[in-house]
Structures are given as structure tokens and as C-alpha cells.
Amino acid sequence: MKKRKPSRRIILKADWEIQKLHAANQIVAEVLLMLRENLQQGITTYDLDRLAEEFIVAKSAVPAFKGYRGFPATACISINDEVVHGIPSPKRVINAGDLVSIDVGAVFDGYYGDAALSTVADGVNNPEAETLIKTTRDALYKGIEKVKKGRRLGDLCYAIQHHVESAGFEVVKQFVGHGIGRSLHEPPEVPNYGRPGTGPVLKKGMVIAIEPMVSAGSADVRVLSDGWTAVTADGSLSAHYEHSVALTEGGPLVLSELKQDS
């Protein structure tokens, strides 16, 4: 008997499922806001991770990343040249002016939330980091604008790439966004580059995590000996933003966005 391959079918969500996904993503959004408020010089990434886990558990949710494929923590916290998947450690101290990217996931009532942001620690003036962060966030919203019925996935992927490259930066191509629902990662993959008019047609009920990862220098990355932390190959700064987005009858609904998001 042949082993069945995992289904690559895009799972469209009912309205009630989108409500559950919204609840899970609101918890993630609240965690990110709390962590950003606690990000200060001298705090360790381990301290931030502990705060994240305590917050998620207090909301009757479960950390989505902890234990996923062996990842040992609740949050991915990546600093400066670290692109994604930085492992929190009591030895890793945040310094004023660091570019810090935080990626958090949570499971609530059987559905997943996933979002990320980048910021400069202690609000220290760091023009290069601030420009990179703004470009990355703006690129995310350029992609979200293309989440409309009848468009194709390549339209939003190209919008992200075009905005980033027009600003003189590079999108990291080794990592991509993804569908999300009752699993953390579902079809389709959502690259941060592509060609308009290509890829799956966007349909009502699709829910995707869009997450541009942007480098101030080379788009090439390497993974450190811990097997997780991805850094830019040339040591340049990197930023990461992510929202989980549902395509509804009225257009894109940003599930992981709070009114306080800025």
C-alpha cells in the first residue's frame, strides 16, 4: 500500500472558522504589543520569552511554536542580522538601538494565530534600522492590499518584492509565508517575490500569513549551528513583519491587527 502524500489543497475557511482564527490572532497581537512595551536595554530574550508564554497561557491558549519541530521556545526573537527563528537565551541581552524582530504564535480553541513585528530597542535613533523596518511593514501592507477575490497569489507576492526593491533593499527568498488554520502551516506557500498574474486564484475563505523578511544588504542567509537561527550572509540588518489575513466578502481582514498597532 502506497503512503499517501500530504494534501496540498488550499483549505477555505467558513465564516465561523475565521472568527476563531481572529480570536487566536488577537491573542498574538496582544502578546506582541506587550513585548514591544517591555523591550528595553538590559532585558534578555529569555525574559521576553517567559513573558510571552505566561501571557498566552493566561489567555487559555497554548504557545504554537514551543516544541514545533523541536523549537525550544514560545517566541522567535531575532536581533540585528538575525532574519528569523532566533532562540531566546538568558545570555542574549538586548542593547539600546538593537533592531529586534519578534515572531509569536498561539493556538486558541483549535485554531492558530501567527504574527511578527520589528522595532528598535529603547527607541534609540537608528536611521538605517528605522528605514528598513518601515519599508518591511509598508511592503506587508502593499501585499495585503492585493488580497482580493479573483486576484492571484503572485500579485501580492510581486507587490511586496517591488516595494522592497524600489527602496534599495532585498527580500529574503529562503523563507516564505503560508496558509494558516487548524495547522500552523497550510497551503499555499506565500513567497515575498513573484510575478503578477501567476499562482492560485485568491478566493473567499482563504487565510494566509504574509511575512516579508527584508535585508539591508544581501538576500542570502545562513543558518547557525543551533539549527534554527537564520542570519544574513553578509551581516547586514534584517527586519520581519507578519500578519495573518483572511479574504472575506468585504476584502482582506487583518486578523492579527489591533487598533493600537502602529
pLDDT of the chain, 262 residues: tens digit per residue: 333 344 579 999 999 999 999 999 999 999 999 999 999 999 999 999 999 999 999 999 999 999 999 999 999 999 999 999 999 999 999 999 999 999 999 999 999 999 999 999 987 888 999 999 999 999 999 999 999 999 999 999 999 999 999 999 999 999 999 999 999 999 999 999 999 999 999 999 999 999 999 999 999 999 999 999 999 999 999 999 999 999 999 999 999 998 654 4
In a domain, 204, yes or no: yes
In a domain, 9, yes or no: no
Measured between alpha carbons, how far is 244 from 252 in angstroms, rounded to an integer? 10
18: three-class secondary structure by DSSP: helix
Looking at residue 110, its amino acid is G
In a domain, 195, yes or no: yes
pLDDT at residue 97 in the model:
95
pLDDT at residue 259 in the model:
60
Question: What CATH number does the domain containing 188 carry?
Answer: 3.90.230.10
pLDDT at residue 261 in the model:
43
In a domain, 168, yes or no: yes
In a domain, 184, yes or no: yes
* CA distances (Å), origin 50, targets 18, 23, 27, 72, 80: 29, 22, 16, 12, 21
Expressed as residue numbers, the domain containing 245 is 15-254
In a domain, 116, yes or no: yes
pLDDT at residue 256 in the model:
98
pLDDT at residue 176 in the model:
98
Longest dimension (CA), the chain: 62
210 neighbors 145 (Cβ within 8 angstroms):
no
pLDDT at residue 145 in the model:
98
pLDDT at residue 4 in the model:
37
In a domain, 90, yes or no: yes
Total number of domains constituting the chain: 1
The whole-model pTM stands at 0.94
How many CB atoms are closer than 10 A to CB 201? 11
* CA distances (Å), origin 216, targets 44, 200, 231, 236: 25, 30, 12, 6
